[in-house]
Amino acid sequence: MKNRSTFFILMKICLKFFQIANNYIGEKRVPDRKERMHMRIGIPRGLFYYYYYPLWTKFFEMLGAEVVVSKRTNKQIVDSGVKCTVDDACLPVKVYHGHVVDLKDEVDFIFVPKIMSIYENEYICPKFCGLPEMVKSSIKDLPPLIDTTIDFYKSKKKLLKTVQEIGKHITNDKNKIKFAFEEALKQHKSYMGHMKSGILPTDMDGNKIVYYMDTYKHKQKILLLGHPYNIYDEYLSMNIIEKLRKNNLEVITQDTFDTTLINKKAEMMDKKMFWSFGRKVLGAALYAMEQEDIQGIIYLSSFGCGIDSVIADIIERRTRRNSNKPFILLTLDEHTGEAGIDTRIEAFVDMIKWRGKNENYISTYGKYVSTR
Ligand code: SF4
């Protein structure tokens, strides 16, 4: 009898030892909730992460939470996203699911807002509206989601109420939430300000500049258009920004232009563009067509994206009709091979350089050149 109970005590000690060792030996130690001082909020590195990461992070941190961002997109994240979503979903939505999977065992909450509209009288893609439901039905064993509805279609008056709703997951102190949001807004403005000066999210870690941009100034300029989650995700975009820069080209995006200029140009369309992304990208393209120092336009689109299929087509037609700038449309999905994209980028870059050297930017083959 005595031997049996000694055996069980020894077993328990061994088990505890293995549990502790397992926690420490992994990629990093994940303390359990009781051990943690702070609540952990997970932010998936996908979709609107590239616009709002500094704002969300500052907000949650000011409330005393610890923010955990999923890893940079990699093959494993893409594969796990593809595995748990329906075939018809676009690549960025699949990848977003992969980021949620990456976070699910590490955090107390995952921030997956239900975004309906971010500007008055404009909508964003319907997939953003159904995102929390999609995530909940596709991924098992999730921690609770912070899935507050963000809808500013009628007015931005609801902004503070929305912020309070998000913040109450961490604290009930309304003043603290208000103050945290004010500080987060400052962070957001500075981040967007960086983008206006040509420093792209790929050059920043949060709000900190990690890349010195000035070396690229005064060279030939290329306008890179596309959803932020395509163009700024280094894995999905196959490092297109870096590839163009290595060819001595300065890369600007729709986020580099002044919003007033973009809106003015977008208003020139016969019908109001009611998608926020469409308005922004179209306005930027129309403005760029008139700028002599911009030598070409690249549109990076997602296969299966309804908005891209309309906007890219309008931009391509307008570029051909109104300017002599080369235009190229690159479409991404989970099967896109890097070699194919590289070949098209190389051909495009060669054409830009050749035209700059030999033709004073005017094609010998007609009014416009498209590599589509
Ligand atoms: S806008 Fe297009 S790429 Fe973005 S989530 Fe919607 S369908 Fe996908």
84 Cα–ligand 1 center, Å? 17
Rounded Cα–Cα distance for residues 100 and 297 (Å)? 33
Same-domain status, 175 and 245 = no
Rounded Cα–Cα distance for residues 320 and 370 (Å)? 8
Q: Is 93 in the pocket of ligand 1 (CB under 6 A)?
A: yes
Q: Is 236 in the pocket of ligand 1 (CB under 6 A)?
A: no
Return the DSSP state at 314: H
Same-domain status, 52 and 132 = yes
Same-domain status, 79 and 146 = yes
**Helices (runs of H) and strands (runs of E) counted in the chain:** 14, 12
Same-domain status, 144 and 229 = no
Q: Angle between the 174-196 and 159-167 helix axes, to the nearest 10 degrees?
A: 110
Amino acid letter, residue 276: S
> Which domain CATH number covers 217?
3.40.50.11900
Query: Concatenated DSSP letters for 239-270?
Result: THHHHHHHTTEEEEEGGGS-HHHHHHHHTTSS
Rounded Cα–Cα distance for residues 248 and 349 (Å)? 10
Same-domain status, 36 and 164 = yes
Percent residues over pLDDT 70 in the chain? 82
Domain residue limits at 299: 199-358
Domain membership flag for residue 69:
yes
Rounded Cα–Cα distance for residues 207 and 315 (Å)? 31
Q: At a CB cut-off of 8 Å and minimum separation 6, what does 227 contact?
A: 92, 277, 300, 302, 305, 308
17 Cα–ligand 1 center, Å? 47
Q: At a CB cut-off of 8 Å and minimum separation 6, what does 362 contact?
A: 324, 355
Helix-strand-coil split of the chain, %, nearest 5: 50, 15, 35
Q: Is 221 in the pocket of ligand 1 (CB under 6 A)?
A: no
322 Cα–ligand 1 center, Å? 27
Q: Angle between the 49-62 and 159-167 helix axes, to the nearest 10 degrees?
A: 60
Residue 44 in contact with residue 100, Cβ under 8 Å? Answer: yes
Cα distances (angstroms) measured from residue 146 to each of 10, 152, 169, 181, 184: 43, 18, 8, 16, 18
Same-domain status, 337 and 205 = yes
Domain membership flag for residue 4:
no
Domain membership flag for residue 1:
no
Q: Is 302 in the pocket of ligand 1 (CB under 6 A)?
A: yes
* Domain stops at, among 151, 173, 193: 193
How many folded domains does the chain comprise?
2
> Which domain CATH number covers 156?
3.40.50
274 Cα–ligand 1 center, Å? 15
* Domain stops at, among 163, 193, 223: 193
- Residue whose Cα lies nearest atom 3 of ligand 1: it is 305
Domain membership flag for residue 365:
no
Rounded Cα–Cα distance for residues 240 and 232 (Å)? 9
Same-domain status, 181 and 209 = no
Q: At a CB cut-off of 8 Å and minimum separation 6, what does 291 contact?
A: none
- Residue whose Cα lies nearest atom 1 of ligand 1: it is 125
Q: Is 305 in the pocket of ligand 1 (CB under 6 A)?
A: yes
User: What's the N-to-C CA distance of the chain in angstroms?
Assistant: 82
Domain membership flag for residue 10:
no
Tell me phi and psi for residue 186, to 5 degrees: -60, -45
45 Cα–ligand 1 center, Å? 15
Same-domain status, 186 and 274 = no
Instruction: Return the ligand 1 atom nearest residue 304 CA.
Output: 7
Q: What angle do CA 353, 356, 357 make, to 5 degrees?
A: 90
Domain membership flag for residue 366:
no
Q: Is 97 in the pocket of ligand 1 (CB under 6 A)?
A: no
**What pLDDT score does 131 carry?**
92
Q: What angle do CA 88, 201, 305 make, to 5 degrees?
A: 20
Same-domain status, 130 and 227 = no
The preferred substitution site among 90, 229, 301, 303 for testing ligand 1, maximizing ligand atoms within 8 Å of CB, is: 90
Nearest of 258, 234, 252, 228 to residue 124 by alpha carbon: 228
355 Cα–ligand 1 center, Å? 34
Q: Is 92 in the pocket of ligand 1 (CB under 6 A)?
A: yes
- Name the pTM for this structure: 0.82
* Domain stops at, among 162, 177, 193: 193
Structure-token pair, residue 29? 């130690």
Same-domain status, 180 and 288 = no
**What pLDDT score does 29 carry?**
41
Q: Is 244 in the pocket of ligand 1 (CB under 6 A)?
A: no
Q: Is 90 in the pocket of ligand 1 (CB under 6 A)?
A: yes
Domain membership flag for residue 239:
yes
367 Cα–ligand 1 center, Å? 32
Instruction: Return the ligand 1 atom nearest residue 230 CA.
Output: 3
Q: Is 231 in the pocket of ligand 1 (CB under 6 A)?
A: no
- The total number of residues shown for the chain amounts to 372
- Residue whose Cα lies nearest atom 7 of ligand 1: it is 305
Same-domain status, 184 and 63 = yes
Domain membership flag for residue 296:
yes
What residues in the chain have per-residue pLDDT under 70? Answer: 1-37, 206-207, 211-218, 356-372
Same-domain status, 205 and 334 = yes
Q: Is 355 in the pocket of ligand 1 (CB under 6 A)?
A: no
